[in-house]
Every structure is written in structure tokens, then in C-alpha cells.
Structure 1
Amino acid sequence: MEKKNKVTMSDIAREAGVSQATVSLILNNSRSIKLSEETRQRVISTALTLGYKKMPAPHRDNGQEEIALLINVMPSYDPFVDALSEAREAAWRHDTLLTLYDYGDDPELAVRIIHQLSQRRCAGIIIASPVTQAIDFSVFAHQTELPVVLLNVYDRAFPLLPTFLPDDRANALQITRHLIDQGATRIAHIMGDHWMEACEMRLEGYRQALLQAGMPFDEQRVMATNWSLNETYQATLALMKLPEPPDAIFCSSDWMTLGCYQALTELHLRIPQDILVAGYDDQRIADQMTPKLTSVQLPYIELGRMAVEYICSGEDAATRVRMAGRLKLRASTAV
């Protein structure tokens, strides 16, 4: 029997006609923001109807502490939502509320939120992003005496700051190794933007896997895009026009593979019989494509939990975690 997709807060928000932040507040029993009882009941009813499995028990209004998670943009559906959901659950297990603040990538707004948090019963602050990226933490430094943790973001200028990240290099390495193990000898890589260090690390993992296998690195087989379907489509067509076209393509995100699939279909190439295709980040679409897409599941559930538990346990040691994900094998690489 095919496993059903897990119901997320974004699913509940869409059905109930409210924001995901509102759903988080209600399911956390937060009273820090005034919401109508009708809205609360609608969200709870929607969650139960959709089969949301982690409905919290009512908590006493006892002045609970909160953990504030500041995110620079609220994802609708993105694998990073798993980190938010697990962080909420971890906080709940510690009898603490997780409150999300979307500061819209506006550092001034984030600083104002932090100043307000310093006046409340806040156990700590998590600064996060759905996209793995560097941030300028100096904007936030010295703004509060509360513990601060970084989730999916980092700043090398602050090496003692607790930081929890996916290991993009290791993830790309295991994907490329898998394609090699499947018999591919001319593996192409369609990447995102060069300015993103996460993309460069995926490129490094790809190169490292080729080197370890004694296979040459061919710059012609690496195509940089702006993550769009059209550019991925065009990059795939260009790759297949090479004198020795690739027999496997590793795309830097599952979303990008939609453009890749389209180009290969137009060229009458079958996946995986004629060419192997693998993605990255294991979005929902990976299991819904034809053929289903091999991808790597990022460890956001583990990282979200670890960030919260670091604060709840009162840790103060320098911690920098880079965690590899899990390779999810599907039909797009099954030969």
C-alpha cells in the first residue's frame, strides 16, 4: 500500500483559509496574539478532518516560556517545513511553546522582534531560513542576552555560535556515487546559482565522487541555472547536444528536474532506460513524478529537533553540526 503524504501545517492553513503562522500559534495553544475563538475552532476542526496526527493536548495557562524562531521568509510547502514541525514538537515535549516570526528578510524588523522577546519569558531564539545560506549575524549580535541558535544558516565570523546545517557536499557525493554504482559513466550536473555556497558545495560533492571513482571532471557537463524550469529545460537540451551526451543527470533540486524531464521527453529519451535522473531535497513531487524521482531527503526533522533541544537543555558549548541526509531510491535511477 502506498504511504500517504503527511499532513503539514501548510495543508491546514490552506484548507482553513488562514496563514501558516496562525496555524502554528493555535496548535501550540499560544495566547501571545489575540485570535478569535471562531478562528481557533476552524483551524482545530480542519486539522482533525485532514488527519493531523500530532494534535497537542490542552496546556495550562501558566506563563509558559517560549522559544522564538525567526525565519526570513515563511515557506508554503518546502522541505524545510519539516524542520519547523519537528521544532514545534520538540518544544512541546519540553513543555515550551515554539512561536514563529516571519521577519521578511528585514534585519531591522528582526532586531525589533528580538528586543520585544527580551522583555518576555523567552528561553531562546532560533534564527532560520528555508534556504541554506550565509547571514550577517553581526546585525543580531549583542541585541539580547538570550541563547541564540542558527538553523540552516551560518556566519563564519561567529564560530562559537551553535549552528545546525545539512551537509550539501556529503549529500551530493552520495547521489553521484549512486549514479556511478548504477553504471553511469558520463554524469552531468545541473546546478543553481554560483553565488549560493550550498550550490558550490553540491558541486564539490559531485566532483569528489567522480575523483574517487577515477572518472574525469568535464566542465561541459556542468550547467549553472537560476533554478527555473525553463533554464533547466534549456540546460538539458544543451547537454544532450554534446558530442558525448550524458547518461545520467543530477539536478540540484527536485523542482528543477521537472524541466529536465520535459526536455528528455521531447527528445524521446526514456528515464531510466536511456538516461538516469536524480534530484535533491526530496520534495513531495519526487514521489509523484513519472517515473518517481530518486532524491536525497534533507535531515531537517533532525536538525529542527536538535536546535530546540540545544536551547531546552541549557547547553552553552560551541556546536556546529553538518548532517547528511538519506538517499531515497526510486524508479528514475533503477536500471
Structure 2
Amino acid sequence: MKRKSKVTMNDIARAAGVSQATVSLVLNQSRNIKLSDETRQRVIGVATALGYGRLSDIHAPRNQEEIALLVSSLQSYDPFIDAVSQAREAAWNNEALLTVYEYGDDTELAKNIIRQLEKRNCVGIILASPVTTLADMSDFRGCTPLPLVLLNQRDPGSPLLPSFIPDDYANAFQVTRHLLDCGATRIAHITGESWMEASRQRLAGYQAALQQAGLPCDETLVRSTNWQFNESFSATESLLRLPEPPDAIFCASDWLTIGCYQALMLNNIRIPQDMLLAGYDDQKISEQLTPPLTSIQLPYSELGRLAVEYLCNEEDAATHVTLAGRLRVRASSTR
């Protein structure tokens, strides 16, 4: 159960010139997606050449252990997809298969899925949220004998329920500290809806960094949005109309920075010469903006892997893992 394969599906994908998803489909013998025989043979050939440890299983009858990941909702562009991808890889390396179910916040549907999983060879269940959040998991407590862990969410009322989440507080502190080190003294913060735990933690980290630097937490520099870039556009314009405008803006998501870029351009404010700018969650678009956007790369890959390994290693401790991300400094914040 604990043996790790030295060669991963990522390695095979790079060598074969295909995506990891394609490698997964071939090695899992999926026939739901039409792949050419040439592609299947190329993947198997590369896996053989690299000495992939699980290759013999491709032609063997499979009754593998399963790990189920139940997620409330999922978008392909969301950085949380990295957690799912790495969880799948970790499950495969631990001789299990990851099955993903999207239940759309329908608790009864999720409980019905769990009841079906109890009839199968299921190692455990990961209850996941694409947005870091505090959750009431009382509906799930005691509903199954299968082990449960939380991914990207935690339940303060269930201290024994293991959880794996990113540290939004530390990440926001890190971004704000970077802008201060780059010479900013009036840093604005455009955030999401205030009821969200992710928004509250990012705001708290931003404020803590300012306090540590001996700067006031000016409420006029904070703007709440509903995560839409048209709202961040309006928020940016309102910040520019202040008697003393900011010299840096920290947006609580890369998506919000799109509206910010547009508003600054229309007002002839140059990035980074006139305004430093940083985002959050390091989506693919961050490198494609002009100038490229400084952002925080969230540790979703690591968290997804750790959640799976916790179940595969049959841990029973009340584990609560909180990981900070990595600051990716780009031209938007460096003069």
C-alpha cells in the first residue's frame, strides 16, 4: 500500500508528448474516450521504456481499492483542479484509483453516493470544496464507517475530522509584505465577498502585514466585490478618485486583476511604474497579462497528494494541515 512508483504519469506524459489525462486514460484502460491505437501504444511503449512499476496491471483484471473525492462544484479553469490532478496521481502511486463525484452542494446526493461507496472496495472519502471555506459537516458525521477527510475546507465543530487547506492568512501577508518591500506605502486591497472565509483570511493577512510595518489599516483602501472583474474595474476607479490614491493594489484573486488592469490602462496609470499590482492564486492568465502578474501559487497539488496519502496510509490521527503558497514575483510589482 505504501510503495511509491519512481516513474509518474507526468513523466510518461512528457516523454510521450501527450497530456497527463491521456496517460491516465490509457493506463486506466478507459474506453469512454476515443483514443487512437497509435496513441495508446506510444504511451504503453514509453511507460515500458521508463520502467513504470504499474505497467503489468494494464492487462490484468482490476479490482483495485478506490478513493472517492466528492466536490461541491468544479470549474476547469479553477486552480483547485491541481488538487484533483495530484490526488489522482497519488492514488495511482498508492495502488488505488481516484473517482471524482460532483454533487453540486446537494447533501442528500452526496450521502447517497457515500452509501453506494460502502458497497465497494473504497479506502476512504475526501470531501472537497473548490473555495477555501469553513463548513458545517454535521450531515456527514457518523453517516458512514468509511474514513473521511476534508480538502480545502474545515469544520470547527469537528476537531477530529482531518483537514487539508491552504493558509490564506499567511499567503496574503506574504503578498502585502512583498509590495511593502518594493517601496509601496499605501496598499489597497480588492477582495471578494465578506461572508467567505477565504476573503476574511486574506483581508486579515493584508492588515497584519501593514501593522507589522507600522502602517495604518486605512479602511478607505479596501474594496469588496463579488469576484467579478467588472466590479474590480469599478473598485479600482474609485480608489483612483481618492484624495490620496494608493501606490499599490493587492487583488484577492487573479480574476479580479483583469478589471484592475483595464481601469488603470484607461486612466493612463502604468504598471508597475505608477502602480504596483499583485494577485492571488497564480492562474495561467497571470503570466499572459501585460506586464505579467505577481501572484501566489497555492499549494493545491501538495494538499491533494497529502489527503490521498493520509487515507492510503490508514492514518487515524486528528491531522489538520495548513500550507502556505509560493510567491511568484513578476513584472507587475517590480520597478
Task: Find the counterpart in structure 2 of residue 249 from structure 1.
Answer: 249
**Which letter does structure 1 place at the counterpart of 2:200?**
E
Q: Mind listing any 5+ residue stretches in structure 2 that lack a counterpart?
A: 1-9, 11-17
Task: Find the counterpart in structure 2 of residue 170 from structure 1.
Answer: 170
Work out the CA distance in 2 between the residues paired with 1:329 and 1:242: 28
Mark the CA change 1:326 to 1:84 in structure 2 (over 3 Å): closer, same or farther: same
Mark the CA change 1:228 to 1:27 in structure 2 (over 3 Å): closer, same or farther: farther
Matched, 1:270 2:248: no
Task: Find the counterpart in structure 2 of residue 318 from structure 1.
Answer: 318
Number of matched pairs: 311
Q: Is the 8 A contact 1:28 1:98 kept in 2?
A: no
Q: Mind listing any 5+ residue stretches in structure 1 that lack a counterpart?
A: 1-6, 8-14, 17-21
Q: Is the 8 A contact 1:27 1:44 kept in 2?
A: no
Alignment map for 1:1-335 (pairs within 5 Å) = 26=25, 29=28, 36=32, 39-41=33-35, 45=39, 57=55, 59=58, 60-335=60-335
Task: Find the counterpart in structure 2 of residue 3 from structure 1.
Answer: none
TM-score of the two chains, using structure 1 as the length reference: 0.87
Task: Find the counterpart in structure 1 of residue 4 from structure 2.
Answer: none
SS in 1 for 2:120: coil
Mark the CA change 1:24 to 1:224 in structure 2 (over 3 Å): closer, same or farther: farther
How many Å apart are 1:43 and its aligned residue? 11
**Which letter does structure 1 place at the counterpart of 2:28?**
N
SS in 1 for 2:129: strand
SS in 1 for 2:35: helix
Mark the CA change 1:27 to 1:227 in structure 2 (over 3 Å): closer, same or farther: farther
Work out the CA distance in 2 between the residues paired with 1:113 and 1:43: 34
Tell me which stretches of 4 or more aligned residues in structure 1 moved more than 6 Å: 22-25, 52-56
1:80-106, Cα deviation, whole Å (9 max, x unpaired) = 111111101111111110110111111
Work out the CA distance in 1 between the residues paired with 2:245 and 2:258: 19
Q: Is the 8 A contact 1:286 1:295 kept in 2?
A: yes
**Which letter does structure 1 place at the counterpart of 2:156?**
R
CA RMSD of aligned residues (A): 2.7
How many Å apart are 1:40 and its aligned residue? 4.5
SS in 1 for 2:138: helix
**Which letter does structure 1 place at the counterpart of 2:128?**
A
How many Å apart are 1:260 and its aligned residue? 0.1
Identity %: 56
Work out the CA distance in 2 between the residues paired with 1:44 and 1:332: 44
Mark the CA change 1:101 to 1:263 in structure 2 (over 3 Å): closer, same or farther: same
Task: Find the counterpart in structure 2 of residue 12 from structure 1.
Answer: none
Work out the CA distance in 2 between the residues paired with 1:241 and 1:101: 47
Query: Which segment drifts farther, 91-100 or 131-140?
Result: 131-140
Q: Is the 8 A contact 1:103 1:109 kept in 2?
A: yes
How many Å apart are 1:139 and its aligned residue? 1.1
